Amino acid sequence: RRTRSRTDVRATTFASLEVWRETMLQRRASTALAASTASAVPSSFAGWSRARAVGLSSSSRGPDRRRRCGAPGVGAGGIARGGRARGGQCRVLKNEDEVNRTIDSILEDIKGTDSGASVPADLRARIDGNINKLIELSSRQSSPLENAALFNSYTVAYSSPGPKQKGAPAGGRFRGKMGRLLFRTTGLYQMILRPNLAKNLVSFKLFGILPGSIALVGTFVKLNAKTVKVLFERPKFTLLGQTFSFGPKSSVELETPCFYANKIRVGRGSLGSLFVFTVDEKSQRESVLREVDRTPRPYAVVVLAAIVAAALYALRFLQTKLGGAKAPMVAACVLLVATASVLVRGGIDDFNECEEDKQKAAAAAASGSSASSNGATP
pTM of the model: 0.67
CA–CA distance, 46 with 40 (Å, rounded to integer): 10
Q: What's residue 189's pLDDT?
A: 95
CA–CA distance, 377 with 236 (Å, rounded to integer): 42
Dmax over CA atoms of the chain, in Å, equals 157
Q: What's residue 78's pLDDT?
A: 42
DSSP secondary structure letters along 114-146: TTTTS--HHHHHHHHHHHHHHHHHTTTPPPGGG
CA–CA distance, 53 with 221 (Å, rounded to integer): 41
Q: What's residue 314's pLDDT?
A: 81
DSSP secondary structure letters along 173-213: GGGSHHHHHHEEEEEEEEEEETTTEEEEEEEEEETTTEEEE
Q: What's residue 35's pLDDT?
A: 61
Give 300's contacts (C-beta < 8 A, 6+ positions apart). Answer: 242, 243, 244
Q: Residue-wise pLDDT tens for the chain (378 aa)? A: 455 555 666 667 667 777 777 777 777 777 766 665 554 444 444 443 443 443 433 333 444 443 333 333 444 334 444 444 443 333 445 678 899 999 999 999 999 898 888 899 999 999 999 999 999 998 888 788 888 899 999 999 999 988 777 777 888 788 888 888 889 999 999 999 998 999 999 999 998 888 999 999 999 999 988 899 999 999 999 998 899 998 888 888 999 999 998 899 999 988 889 999 999 999 999 999 899 999 998 888 888 888 888 888 887 777 777 676 677 778 778 888 888 888 876 666 544 544 444 455 455 545 544 443 444 333
Question: In degrees rounded to 5, what are phi and psi of residue 35?
Answer: -65, -45
Q: Which of 100, 130, 80, 75 is nearest to 276 (CA)?
A: 130
Q: Which of 184, 246, 251 is nearest to 223 (CA)?
A: 251
Burial of residue 206 (CB within 10 Å: 0-12, 13-18, 19+) is middle
Q: What's residue 337's pLDDT?
A: 84
